Amino acid sequence: MKHWIRVLLVALCCWLALGAALPALSTDGPAAITDYQGFVFANRVLRHKKVTFYPDVLAYNHGEYRLQPFDGAVPERFFVVDGQGKHALAPFVLDVTDAMRIALYGGDVGKTALFFGQYTERVRSADRKWGYSGIHEGIDFIAAKGQPIYAIVEGEVLRAGHGKDNTIAIYNEQYNTTVLYLHTVDVQVSRGDRIAAGTLLSYEGSRGSGDPYTHVEVRFGRRTSPHPYRNHVLQSDLPYDFFAHALGVTPSGREAVTAESLIEAEQMRLAAEAEAEAARLAQEEAEARLLATPTPAPTPEIRLLEEDEGDADPNFGFAETLGTPLPTLPPAP
């Protein structure tokens, strides 16, 4: 009897464990992990903080798509998983950032260079140890130095430049949200102005950044300053839902940029390049064969000479009288 009780208890434990594991196995979302990660602060001292993050999300980072850790505070719904088990930003995020970029630059120019919640560049500290310089608090866009910068949403100007980043802060009452624009130059608005979406704010510059680009950050409430850039805790507010509502973004149906799709695209590109190279070599070989083939001698020209009518015998072939009698019919029987 005790034996059967033990068997039933073991079976019950296994069933409970399986029931707990199945939801985790069936989820389509990425799984964040918690570990100690190195962060290099402004004082260039390497510190280790225990943080939760997505370790292998594929995202664009100032020049190329690569596996880029994201902070665990970014909701899972903003990621997808490809056939290799790698994570990528969901198409919704790309739709929102594209709408932001078009509104920011007044047209479909530039590109999104760094997303909200990404770990920023890996850097080496003074003691030559590697770590991340921080977690990105907003979204970076790159067009060109001097590119006009326009207000993405309407609102009241709370700050019009100044500070090391030359920050512009626009407060939107409808959403109780402040949108901050960093690194701009030649500010065109003044504090206290009430502006419409699309109003010229400034121009793309590199105030406090080193390179020309525009950092856009969202903070709920009336704010005049962005959060510190070099930190290991994500403090700014989630921009995607806010801008999706404010700009009326609808799903585009685009494909996610995943590791698997990039590998497939790279393979297709290499195959196309190989095919084009083979065609070029075949064309060169055909041209070389054509040059090596001897040119045949030209065919002599045949000319038809007409005789002068005065030299011809007028009776040639046409006698006035026949030289032989005409045949007669046989007599009738």
Instruction: Tell me what pLDDT residue 27 has.
Output: 40
Over range 233-256, report the average pLDDT: 94
Are the beta carbons of 167 and 214 closer than 8 angstroms? Answer: no
* Residue bearing the bigger pLDDT, 30 or 271: 271
Instruction: Tell me what pLDDT residue 313 has.
Output: 56
Q: How far is CA 133 from CA 32, 89, 126, 214, in A?
A: 20, 21, 13, 19
pLDDT over 70 percentage in the chain: 80
CATH class as words, domain 28-264: mainly beta
Instruction: Tell me what pLDDT residue 16 has.
Output: 36
Strands laid side by side in the 57-60 sheet: 65-67, 57-60, 87-89, 79-81
Digit-coded pLDDT (tens) for 25-81: 234 567 789 988 888 876 667 788 889 999 889 998 888 888 889 999 999 999 999
The answer to whether residue 168 scores a pLDDT higher than 70 is yes
Are the beta carbons of 202 and 161 closer than 8 angstroms? Answer: yes
Instruction: Tell me what pLDDT residue 13 has.
Output: 43
Instruction: Tell me what pLDDT residue 153 has.
Output: 97
Instruction: Tell me what pLDDT residue 115 has.
Output: 96
The single-letter DSSP state of residue 76 is: G
Where are the extended beta strands (E) located within the chain? 33-40, 46-54, 57-60, 65-67, 70-71, 79-81, 87-89, 111-114, 122-124, 130-132, 139-142, 148-150, 155-160, 168-172, 177-182, 184-185, 194-195, 200-204, 214-220
Instruction: Tell me what pLDDT residue 314 has.
Output: 54
Q: How far is CA 220 from CA 170, 174, 181, 226, 290, in A?
A: 11, 11, 15, 11, 74
Digit-coded pLDDT (tens) for 86-137: 899 999 999 999 999 999 999 999 999 999 999 988 887 777 777 888 899 9
Instruction: Tell me what pLDDT residue 311 has.
Output: 55
Q: How many CB atoms lie within 10 A of CB 5?
A: 9
Rounded to two decimals, the pTM is: 0.72
Over range 161-172, report the average pLDDT: 93
How sure is the predictor about 220, in pLDDT bands with cuts at 50, 70 and 90? Answer: very high
The answer to whether residue 12 scores a pLDDT higher than 80 is no
